[in-house]
Amino acid sequence: MTGSTELRDKVVLVTGGSRGIGRAIVLAAADAGARVAFCARSLGPATDEVVAEADRLGGPGSALAVRADVASETDVEALFDAVIDRFDQVDIVVNNAGINRDALLVQTSTVDFDAVIATNLTGAFLVCRRAVQEFLAQGDGGRIVSISSMSQAGATSQAAYAASKGGLLGLTRTIAKEYGHKGVLANVVTVGYVETDLTRDIDATLRRSLVAATPLRRTGRPEEIAAVVRFLASARADYINGAAVRATGGLEEVPT
């Protein structure tokens, strides 16, 4: 255990915590003293490893993995039930689960478009709706942090992904306006290019242009995104609401 107390007494729920950025967010929350739950569409060695590492950082029993597909309303409801059953409350929710199906608009099938929207946007809606219901019932405010992308401004071959991430921004700003007076804060982290399974198949030329267009001349690390989420979840961010915080290494837009 690290002894950090920044999120002590808080319960954090992270969607898509089995690998990549979500895994780093789970571990950052555990390191900050929170009890932390996360979901993925399947459980196995990867989720076991995340639970073990979070328990090592936060203490035995501080982490919970739940199988849930955020695109399923039934799964999302069961996910929250499981978190409250185990930890009695939920204080901070991180919409991290995301997928892409990159293709030019005319080559994007309706099935692929719907799949991306279902996970990245409808999933976030289902999670936010239940989260706010819980926050209001608990009466002590709450935090929502959603992981968006530079692509929210539009990006070649990413019609579905860009639409989902742009929608996430609108959803977040609406929650910020509707529930700020109840102490519910909602923000987005606009992420640049981080090497994970999601970006593994990116074309080598595009990869080079992304790095070249990034003033830091390198890709981001999942831990660097998790550090921003940890800040937004903490009391140090008590006056940040409806914001899109950029963690892009200075990348201004996705090269075409």
Ligand X SMILES: NC(=O)c1ccc[n+]([C@@H]2O[C@H](COP(=O)([O-])OP(=O)(O)OC[C@H]3O[C@@H](n4cnc5c(N)ncnc54)[C@H](OP(=O)(O)O)[C@@H]3O)[C@@H](O)[C@H]2O)c1
Active-site residue (options: 161, 179, 193, 239): 161
Residue number with CB closer to ligand X (204 or 235) = 204
Among the listed ranges 83-91, 103-111, 188-196, 233-241, the one in contact with ligand X (CB under 6 A) is 188-196
What DSSP state is assigned to residue 158?
B
Describe the strand order of the beta sheet including 184-191 as a list of residue ranges: 63-67, 35-40, 11-15, 92-95, 142-149, 184-191, 244-247
Residue 249 is a binding residue for ligand X (CB under 6 A): no
Residue number with CB closer to ligand X (96 or 172) = 96
Q: Where are the alpha helices (DSSP H) in the chain?
A: 20-31, 45-58, 73-87, 110-117, 123-138, 159-179, 204-213, 222-233
Length of the chain: 256
Residue 158 is a binding residue for ligand X (CB under 6 A): no
Candidates 10, 12, 13, 22: give the one binding ligand X (CB under 6 A): 22
Residue number with CB closer to ligand X (140 or 252) = 252
Backbone angles phi, psi at 36, to 5 degrees: -135, 130
Q: What residues numbered 99-128 form the site for ligand X, per CB under 6 A?
A: 99, 119, 123
Backbone angles phi, psi at 13, to 5 degrees: -120, 125
Backbone angles phi, psi at 39, to 5 degrees: -125, 165
Q: Is 161 a catalytic residue?
A: yes
Candidates 83, 147, 175, 237: give the one binding ligand X (CB under 6 A): 147
Q: Which residues bind ligand X (CB under 6 A)?
A: 15-22, 39-42, 69-71, 96-99, 119, 123, 147, 149, 191, 193-194, 196-199
